[in-house]
Amino acid sequence: MRIGYTLMTEQAGPKQLVGHAVAAEKAGFAFEVCSDHYSPWLDEQGHAPYAWSVLGAVAQATDRVELMTYVTCPTMRYHPAVVAQKAATVQLLSDNRFTLGLGSGENLNEHVVGEGWPSLDVRHDMLAEAVQIIHGLFDGGHSSYAGEHFRVDSAKLWDLPDSRVPIAVAVSGEESIARFAPVADAMIAVQPEQRLCREWDEHWVGRAEGSARKIGQLPVCWDADRDAAIARAHEQFRWFGGGWKVNAELPGTAGFAGATQFVTPENVASAIPCGPDVEPILKSVREFADAGFTDLALVQIGGEHQDGFFSFAEKELLPALREAV
């Protein structure tokens, strides 16, 4: 399993994120994923810089790590033709280190353009059209499209990388897997469920040699003081426990604060590895490895608490993970 690091735009400003990217590469992480948000989940997180500007800077500041959006919604804030242009540009800036991670989005980020929030089936229809449009533009030449949700009029990517940008799509169940595995290069999911990986491979077979790349994400809260880690994880990451069916629907930080008002620090500590020890993190990582995930991006909770984590990762965590998974 390849272990990556999450540039979490909800918890740090743009310059800090670029610094984190450089430090994560130095520490030995294999890849870096970047969230693409207009708003943090909770007021306590306090940030939401523009992910694509951050990625452009990170592409120049790093040399080795693969980069990825985790994930971009290519349907409301951004027209899919513009997403294709952004992805091609980052691929060029990074010397072919970029993967475009896509998903159907959250109300939290997409409602800002004033177009309302569609039902899940409509969001999936929109995402399917968007993926088709992006593939068409990656093919090169002029591309036009007329669908139920999007139109493209003779668009062309004038700066197209030699290496086609891989597309990864976030899924959560059989329906979304059946729809997007045939048109994607990799799977994104946040639950270590074996059925997701198995079903993805069943629908993905024939697109390439070997098994598909499956990319998960795991929040952790490293701190020398376990009680401080639990308190910080509860303050900034209690939203995570709602699950994506809830998280996709709430429109703002006040909604997430209200929905999680009864989540206790103990609840959070039971779901997120907290404290200074390697073993709780190893246990959670093994769950993803056993489920069939090939890649896992760690989130260190707390924007101002990355330096100690990088030292811990370089000296203890990453060597232990290489040995174990």
* Alpha carbons 138 and 164: distance in angstroms, whole number: 7
CA-to-CA dists, residue 171 to 9, 121, 291, 306, angstroms:
21, 13, 15, 29
Q: Are 226 and 275 in contact (CB under 8 A)?
A: yes
Cα distances (angstroms) measured from residue 317 to each of 23, 154, 203, 310, 312: 15, 50, 34, 9, 6
Of 156, 285, 115, 160, the closest CA to residue 216 belongs to: 285
**From the CB of residue 325, how many other CB atoms can be counted at a distance below 10 Å?**
16
List phi, psi (to 5°) of 160: -110, 125
Q: Length of the chain, please?
A: 325
Q: How buried is residue 308: exposed, middle or buried, by Cβ count under 10 Å (0-12/13-18/19+)?
A: middle
Question: CA dist 40 to 12, 45, 84, 324, Å?
Answer: 10, 6, 25, 34
**DSSP letters along 255-321, please?**
HHHHHTTT--HHHHHHHS-BSS-SHHHHHHHHHHHHHT-SEEEEEES-TT--HHHHHHIIIIIHHHH
Residues designated catalytic = 37, 106
The region that residue 26 occupies, defined by phi over 0 for left and psi between -120 and 50 for alpha, beta otherwise, is alpha
